[in-house]
Amino acid sequence: MRPPRLDSLRNKLVLVFFGITATAFAVIYFGVVPQLEQNLEERKLAELRRVADAAQPTLERLMGRRDVSASELDRRVRAVADAVGARLTLLGVQQSAGGRRLRGLRFFVITDSREERVVPENPRLAARAVRAGRLESSFIMLRGDRLGQVAQPLEFRDRADWVALYSRSFSDVAETVAYIRDRVVAATAVALVIALLGGYLVAQALARRVRRLERGAQEVAKGRFTGPLPVDSSDELGQLTQTFNEMQQQLSAVDVTRKEFVATASHELRTPIFSLAGFVELLQDEELDEETRREFLDTMAEQVERLQKLSVDLLDLSRIDAGSIELRRDRVDLSELTRSIVSEFTPALGEHHTVLEVELPANGVAARCDRERVAQIMRILLDNALRHTPEGTPVTVSADRHNGAAEVTVADRGPGIGDGTVEHAFERFYTGDAQRGAGLGLAIASELAERMDGRIRLSSRPGATVFTLELPAS
């Protein structure tokens, strides 16, 4: 058993499954999770801004009051911090006027809602809020903890003397995001294992079906037609398998027909050639009388004519396959062409003792076609009627318009064509009577008609066989 190649279909499908799953989770881990963290922080910061706006009037009422002691201020600041759920630091503003208003700013801690030595001062944020005269927000790190801060300038007598600095820890956001990241990593590991296993099983099943088709194609390429492959699904591979089975069946039929044709053609060629060789040997006898010699020459002429017809049919068939036949699209009067072709068959009709009836309209029947190829088709149909019917069988040739198409019909009153022969009558190399031809005439006629956008219809029953050539009317 050959080891699987790295570039095999199975491995490629497994890698595709793995890559899609890994990409999806990478997008979640590096795109969605950070965005979630940012959204959570922005929501908490927006809430902090909202509570800061709500607490502003309360804090501004404490400014400039002499009856509020330091301890009372601390108590009220803690009350406000508890109400808003954030740490509150009151910063005093020292500002110097010069050149530009509020050019130099310095800050000092008035009070803090928590009795801790480390106060989350943020002079830059406070200065930005004082200069802008509105709420400003940012983030800082304090002893390894990420804090979201909002600075609210508090005005007394139209001057910002205090800054309320609200701080809230975002550690819960970090914990939530870390939890989600851990779950994403765990889910990614599980999903990748499932993707690898599922991808391998699916790819293995697909690869097995592809290899089965490959082996079947190799057998067909060697000329060995196997039985139909099992069609175990209705997907694309199932449809491909069904198509392969149909192709194999058709190729098998073509191969059988080809072998039969080779045998028939060999017989057709061998018989006149052996016959000619025999007559040539007989003609070399100087004691032959003139009448016998003439009889031999007539027979030899018939055999030569038979060889010529077979070679012309084979040549036409090869040119049709090669696409080298050029067809013209001229306006042709089928009535006039029919009379011309019928006149060519006068000697053959006499030898066959056949009464030929010609039924043509007075005003003619015009068609858009190639005159020479239509004449060839008509010769094939007439020759077929004479060749495959007993002597004296009446034959009728007619032309007419029907349903917007121009038609030429050759009908005979012979024994008809068997049911098993009608459906194969226009197939290449098929002959219902191997003794009377190689079965190429009707196949050539049918393909020529199709290349002129027409067709040949056949209907047959005992006592009536009708071939109808249908062409585009002009």
Structural domain boundaries in the chain: 10-176, 236-320, 327-472
Indicate the pairing of strand 356-359 with strand 395-402: parallel
Is pLDDT above 50 for 350? Answer: yes
Report the C-alpha gap between 103 and 113 in whole angstroms.
Answer: 29
Q: pLDDT-derived band of residue 431, with 50, 70 and 90 as boundaries?
A: low
Model confidence over 190-225: pLDDT tens digits?
887 887 787 777 777 777 777 787 788 887 777 777
Q: Is the pTM of this model over 0.75?
A: no
Q: pLDDT-derived band of residue 1, with 50, 70 and 90 as boundaries?
A: very low
Q: Tokens at residue 472, please?
A: 């585009």
Report the C-alpha gap between 37 and 175 in whole angstroms.
Answer: 10
The label of the residue with tokens 């990614």 reads 188
Q: HSE, CB side, 13 Å, CA atoms: give it for residue 332.
A: 24
Report the C-alpha gap between 393 and 385 in whole angstroms.
Answer: 9
Say if residue 264 is exposed, middle or buried (CB neighbours under 10 Å; 0-12, 13-18, 19+). buried
* Eight-class DSSP state of 135: -
Lowest mean pLDDT among 13-22, 324-333, 373-382: 13-22
Model confidence over 11-58: pLDDT tens digits?
777 777 778 887 888 887 787 778 887 888 888 888 888 888 888 888
pLDDT of 331: 92
Is pLDDT above 50 for 100? Answer: no
pLDDT of 211: 79
Q: pLDDT-derived band of residue 332, with 50, 70 and 90 as boundaries?
A: very high
Architecture of 327-472 per CATH?
2-Layer Sandwich (3.30)
CATH dotted code for 10-176: 3.30.450.20
Query: In CATH, which of 1.10.287.130, 3.40.630.10, 3.40.50.1820, 3.40.50.720 is domain 236-320?
Result: 1.10.287.130
Report the C-alpha gap between 292 and 303 in whole angstroms.
Answer: 17
Lowest mean pLDDT among 50-59, 294-303, 452-461: 294-303
Q: Which residue has the higher pLDDT, 48 or 315?
A: 48
Model confidence over 360-370: pLDDT tens digits?
998 889 999 99
Answer yes or no: same fold for 236-320 and 327-472.
no
pLDDT of 388: 82
Is pLDDT above 80 for 174? Answer: no
Cβ(332)–Cβ(338) under 8 Å? no
pLDDT of 10: 65
pLDDT of 181: 81
Sheet holding 136-142, edge to edge: 100-112, 87-98, 160-169, 145-155, 136-142
Is pLDDT above 60 for 167? Answer: yes
Q: What is the mean pLDDT of the chain?
A: 81
